[in-house]
């Protein structure tokens, strides 16, 4: 699964630790999410969408699916 977490975070000048704090996860988890090596659960994906105030489908996309 692809995601735009790194871009969205950079747009807001947040560090990984800042985002981790808002999501209630560790910085390592944010890193794993950003590199696409770990796919979040549905509740965490909803939380991410809420933090960035964007719909889930604008943040996550299936691998290989054109945006």
Partner 1 sequence: MNDLPRRKRLSGAASFALAISATLLLGGLAGVGSAVLGDQPGAVGFGLTAALITAALATGFVACVWWWRQIDEAAREAHKWAWWWGGSGGMAVGAVLLLTLMMRSDSQTLPESFGSTPADIFVSGMMSILLFQMAGYSLAWAGWWLKHR
Q: Does 66 bind partner 1 (CB under 8 A)?
A: no
Q: Where are the beta strands (DSSP E) in the chain?
A: 2-3, 60-61
Q: Does 67 bind partner 1 (CB under 8 A)?
A: no
User: Which member of 4, 14, 25, 56 binds partner 1 (CB under 8 A)?
Assistant: 25
User: Which member of 4, 14, 31, 56 binds partner 1 (CB under 8 A)?
Assistant: 31
Q: Which of 65, 64, 41, 57 is nearest to 4 (CA)?
A: 57
Q: Does 37 bind partner 1 (CB under 8 A)?
A: yes
Q: Which of 6, 25, 4, 3 is nearest to 15 (CA)?
A: 6
- Considering the complex, state which of residue 4 and residue 36 has its C-beta at the smaller distance from partner 1: 36
């Amino acid at each position: 699964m692809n995601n735009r977490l790194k871009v969205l975070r950079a747009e807001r000048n947040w560090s990984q630790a800042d985002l981790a704090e808002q999501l209630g996860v560790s910085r390592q988890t944010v890193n794993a999410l950003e590199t696409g090596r770990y796919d979040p659960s549905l509740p965490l994906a909803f939380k991410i969408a809420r933090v960035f105030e964007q719909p889930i489908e604008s943040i996550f996309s299936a691998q290989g699916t054109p945006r």
